[in-house]
Structure 1
Amino acid sequence: MATDIVMPKLGMVMTEGTISKWNRAQGEDIAQGEVVLEIETEKLNYELEATSSGKLHHIAPEGAIIPVNGLLGYLLAEGEAPPEVTQNTSAANESEVSAQATDNKPVAGKVAVRGEAIPSTPGARKLAAKLGIDLSNVTPTGPRGRVVEADVRAHSETGASKATPVTDGKTPVKIDVSGMPSPDKVTKMSGMRQGIAAHMLSSLQTTAQLTFTLDIPVTELQSQRKKWSKSNKTAVTNTHVYTKICGEIISELPIFNSMLIDNQIYEYKKVDIGIAVALPEGLIVPVIKDVMNLSLADLAQLTSAANKRALAGKLSPDEVSGGTFTISVLGVVEGFTPILNRGQAAILGVGVTKQKAVVENNQIAIRDVCTFNLTVDHQLVDGAIAAEFMKRLSASIENPNSIFK
């Protein structure tokens, strides 16, 4: 009996993934546990292993964007014919390939989606909405008369209809490039880059984001951190200390450990903090779980290990899900506006540390000062509560004795 290969759900907010590469060819014999294909999402790259043995049969091509539980292929018994994918296939098999063929030919293996007035791929519908194009005006070239993404692009490029600006706040208005020179290079965004773009835009459109900025002297913290690291033979960075401090503040101000979902406030006791890691192709946020029950040494070790796995592309789905608060250490610049991760109540952006003049006991002194930028969802967090967070952050950083005890 054929075994379905489907798009796995790699995290709470994942809705679709991209087939970046089939590792094995059509018809090859596959053993259970072998990697059959690579998947790219907005958060990570993932190698999908075979759940059973059999002959590999591809359904979706490389580059296809497939929804969670959508059909990717089959593992077949010897001599078994692949099941016929029909309009009545279960929801798990109703995935629509949205990859655009480079030669403008219809992509094979597409599956009809029930209930559509205009048969079309998700990619075609998304692009049409972005460009303000009515799909009923587009000439389809896909299998069984479906409109594919290439059809929408061709329709737009011929000028058959002018784009109507979208003003519903959910999709961007088409950018008018008339009068601009021809680009020297056009690069399709990767699945991760597309995911980040959609995630950030959605966050800005669905939250009331407000940023608070404060300069905090960190000279004493850095001095104690260096002494503690040496005596405990553990490499601890400022980021590790900031994470521990934030965990303590969040446990005392629980609104920062909540999420707004469908007009309901979800509150959590366990503090799970995501720490952003920059990658060449984007950004990923490994989550450090249960920060309050971790010692500073354990927190430092877990964070450093997660950072290394992030840079190597080896994070597991569990390691990038579940965070309710995020810390993003940008450095270089002082003030910036970090954008909330969708659903979260707050994100702390850490800027550059530099020497500045500060007033201490009516005297001017030169101290190492770091700029902290707290963005909150004003739907959840009032200004006074955000200010209280920054006040406690400043107090703990300037007097960090309790952290290094």
Structure 2
Amino acid sequence: MAIPIVMPRLGDFMTEGLVARWTKSSGEHIDQGEVLAEIESEKLNYELEATSTGILHHAVEEGATVEVDGIMAYLLAEGEAPPQPVAPAAPSSAPAASAPGRTAPARQVEAGDVVPSTPGARRLATSLGVDISKVTPTGPRGRVVDADVRAYHESQPAGGAPAAGQAPAAIPGLPEPTRVVPLQGIRRAIAQNMHDSLAKTAQLTYHLEVDITDAQAMRREASGNSDATINMASVLVKACAESLQRVPALNTLLVNGNVMYYDVINMGVAVALDDGLIVPVIKDVQDKSIEQIATEMQELSDKARAGHLSSSDVVGGTFTISVLGVVDGFTPILNPPQSALLGVGRSVQKPVVKGGEIVVREMMTLSLTADHQVVDGSVAVSFMRRLQQMVERPSQLFS
């Protein structure tokens, strides 16, 4: 019996994934555990392994976008024929299908009807100004997919996007660009997520300078007595966890008009890659020591840079920290549906007044962005004050 291979869910809110590359061909014999394909979600590249043994049959082409749990391929027994795809039903009077993206007669869409389409296709149609009801579907079960929207948009006589590989129109007053790079892959996903974040949330950022002199001294001492390399980021992760327990309104998600509170604190820590950011998640931070946090942060960072993160490594976050480290302060953008995110600036030796005297202390600017739909200003300030106390009196963090 044919064993279906489906698109895995690689994130909490993933709806579809891209078959970036088939590493095995149709007709090849596959053993359990062999890598079949490379899958791309919005922020994760994933090697899909066979869970059984059999003869591989591709159900979709390389480069296809497939819904989560949609069938990508089958594993067949020797000599077994692959299942026949089920074509979407069509009225007998329907015209012959036109080529993908070619302008088709407008379908009759009544007010309130939903055009069968993937979420990615709907987002793309909105961004390109395309009436999705006019696009010819080529996806499974008669759904409009990304490629259909792009093809339709490019086929329009005016306002269409440049053909693949063709440079956009020249900008007046500028020479021809030396290089044109399409916004695609992880970079395009980041662009879409950042745009959606700013468009759908009421973001407000609070800046606070904290004295990390004592925390740095205790961190260095703890690191010297540990096999783990304890950096300031791991100290801040622990300090945030302690502060979130006191101010739980920031450890929330806003989903479908509901504010969801959690006792567990799963901390996303942004990691910079060559083509963007990815946010692996440290689970149950409230129950872990700084040493445990530091070890797990390093392991996740190494996996991210090697491209070996699993789907479980990037899901379930309730709060995020982004360490920029080269500027004093910045305005971090929320990671929806989370309600808050902490940006960490660089540490600088500065003269400050302490006990009536001017002394040199190591200072750092923390920047908290919170969704004002969920977090009032007074609540955000309470969190920042608590965080400052934890960082400036760090003994309880290391106990």
TM-score range, shorter chain: 0.7 to 0.9
What residue number does 1:226 align with? 220
Count of aligned pairs:
369
Change (3 A) 1:190 1:176: closer
CA distance in 2, matches of 1:287, 1:228: 23
Q: Provide the residue aligned with 1:10 in structure 2.
A: 10
How far is the alpha carbon of 1:377 from its aligned partner? 0.8
* 1:401 aligned onto 2:398: no
Are 2:262 and 1:265 aligned? no
Residues of 2 paired with 1:266 and 1:141: CA distance? 37
Checking the alignment, whether the CA contact within 8 Å between 1:7 and 1:67 is kept in structure 2 is yes
Measured in 2, the distance between the counterparts of 1:124 and 1:315 equals: 27
CA distance in 2, matches of 1:136, 1:318: 37
| Distance in structure 2 (CA, Å) of the matches to 1:285 and 1:13 | 14
Q: Which residue of 2 aligns with 1:309?
A: 303
d(CA) in 2 for partners of 1:78 and 1:51?
Answer: 17
Contact 2:265 2:284 in 1 (8 A): yes
Is the deviation greater in 190-199 or in 363-372?
Answer: 190-199
**Retained in 2: the 8 A contact 1:16–1:41?**
yes
Superposition deviation, residue 76 in structure 1: 2.1
Following the alignment from structure 1 to structure 2, what is the Cα–Cα distance between the partners of residues 400 and 120? 52
**SS of match in other structure, 2:299:** helix
- Structure 1 contact 326–346 (Cα < 8 Å) conserved: yes
**What's the counterpart of residue 33 of structure 1?**
33
Instruction: Show the counterpart of 2:77.
Output: 77
Q: For 2:211 and 2:364, how far apart are their aligned partners in 1? A: 6
- Is this contact kept in 2: 1:225–1:236, CA < 8 A? yes
Mark the CA change 1:366 to 1:176 in structure 2 (over 3 Å): closer, same or farther. Answer: farther
Per-residue Cα deviation, 1:38-83 (whole angstroms, up to 9, x for no partner): 1011232111112322222222222222221122122222222222
* TM-score normalised over the length of structure 1: 0.83
**Structure 1 regions of 5+ residues with no counterpart?**
90-104, 108-114, 164-174
> For 2:121 and 2:377, how far apart are their aligned partners in 1?
42
Give the aligned partner of residue 324 of structure 2.
330
Cα-to-partner distance string for 1:311-358 (whole Å, 9 max, x where unaligned): 111111111111100010011111111111111111000011112221
- Residues 1:177 and 1:136: Cα distance change in structure 2 (over 3 Å): farther
Q: Which runs of 5+ in 2 are unaligned?
A: 90-98, 102-108, 162-167
Counterpart-to-counterpart distance in 2, 1:270 and 1:207: 23
* Cα distance in structure 1, aligned partners of 2:81 and 2:383: 62
User: Map of 1:351-390 to 2, 5 A cutoff?
Assistant: 351-390=345-384
Shift of residue 305, structure 1, vs aligned partner: 1.1
Greater mean alpha carbon deviation, residues 77-86 or residues 325-334 = 77-86
Q: Percent identity?
A: 46
Question: Is the partner of 1:349 in helix, strand or coil?
Answer: strand
Q: 1:313/1:124 Cα in 2 relative to 1: closer, same or farther (>3 Å)?
A: closer
d(CA) in 1 for partners of 2:206 and 2:71? Answer: 46
Quote how far apart the aligned CAs of 1:126 are: 4.7
For 1:252-296, what per-residue CA distance to the aligned partner results, in whole angstroms no more than 9, with x for missing partners? 111111111111111111111111111111111111111121122
5 Å matches for 1:222-261?
222-261=216-255
CA contact (8 A) 2:22 2:38 kept: yes
Which residue identity does 1:130 align to in structure 2?
S
Q: Report deviation, 1:84.
A: 1.8
2-structure distance, mates of 1:124, 1:350: 36
Higher alpha-carbon deviation: 340-349 or 294-303: 294-303
| RMSD, aligned CA | 2.9
- The residue that corresponds to 2:127 in the other structure is 130
State whether residues 128 and 153 of structure 2, in contact with CA within 8 Å, keep that contact through their aligned partners in structure 1.
no
Q: If the length of structure 2 is used for normalisation, what is the TM-score?
A: 0.84
CA contact (8 A) 1:127 1:152 kept: no
Counterpart of 1:13 in 2: which secondary structure?
Answer: coil
Question: Matched residues in 1 for 2:377 and 2:247: separation?
Answer: 13
CA contact (8 A) 1:330 1:351 kept: yes
Contact persistence 1:275–1:287 (CA under 8 A): yes
Distance in 2 (alpha carbons) for counterparts of 1:231 and 1:137? 66
8 Å Cα contact 1:121-1:148 kept in structure 2: no
Alpha-carbon distance in 1 for matches of 2:288, 2:119 = 44
- Secondary structure of the residue aligned to 1:366 is strand
Q: Once structures 1 and 2 are overlaid, which stretch shifts more, 351-360 or 52-61?
A: 52-61
Task: Out of 189-198 and 358-367, give the one that drifted further.
Answer: 189-198
Answer yes or no: is the 8 Å Cα contact 1:141–1:151 preserved in 2.
no
Contact kept, 8 Å, 1:123 with 1:148, in 2: the verdict is no
Per the alignment, do residues 245 and 132 of structure 1 end up closer, same or farther by CA in structure 2, a change over 3 Å counting?
A: same
**For the residues of structure 2 that align with 1:372 and 1:126, how far apart are their CA atoms?**
34
